[in-house]
Amino acid sequence: MVELVESGVVGQETYVWKRGMRDWMLAEDVPELRTHMHIHAPPPPPPGQRPPERAPTSTELDPVAKYNMSKMYGQAGIAAYYESPYSRVLAGILQIFLPGIGRIYLGYHAIGVLQLLCTICTCGVLWLWPLIDGILILAGQVRYDGYARALPD
């Protein structure tokens, strides 16, 4: 039991019992174990609060303020201002003639693979879903690629 105390498995608040004892006792109350206990100091108090930071005088000095991601509901974030390198027309044509490939091309991998597998597993019965999706892509209903970049018109 001394090895357990020295290795830290048995602490001061641990109840122990061995032959000859009437009842379970705290390890710190057993004279044989008390000599092997390492009494640790209490942990230090938590650090104080940080001083308030000085507010920037202009957004020109603060590079993060220009890219504030907390937009109102319905407004596009930063990525929407970047133009996608993918073509809407190519994605629509791929989607119509190769079900799911147009969505994969745009970066919507999960939807594309699901459309492809549904078309293959049903022997073309569910080809209507990618067909309508391809028409919607060509009509401009899909405005962003899978990385939230705006598709060029």
pLDDT one-digit tens code per residue, 25-78: 888 888 787 777 766 666 676 777 666 676 655 555 555 555 555 555 555 555
User: Is residue 81 scored above 60 in pLDDT?
Assistant: yes
**pLDDT tens for residues 95-132?**
999 999 999 999 999 999 999 999 999 998 999 999 99
* Predicted structure pTM score: 0.49
What 8-state DSSP symbol labels residue 26?
E
Task: Tell me, rounded to whole angstroms, the distance of Cα 59 from its chain centroid.
Answer: 29
What's phi and psi for 140, nearest 5 deg? 95, 10
| Residue 74: per-residue pLDDT | 59
Q: What is the pLDDT of residue 51?
A: 60
Mean pLDDT of 69-88: 68
Joined tokens for residue 20: 């000859």
Q: Which residues contact 131 (CB under 8 A, 6 or more apart)?
A: 96, 99
Closest CA to 126 of 105, 99, 150: 99
pLDDT, position 91: 96
Which amino acid would we find at residue 81? Y
Tokens matching residue 55? 């507010």
3-18 pLDDT, tens per residue? 777 777 777 778 888 8
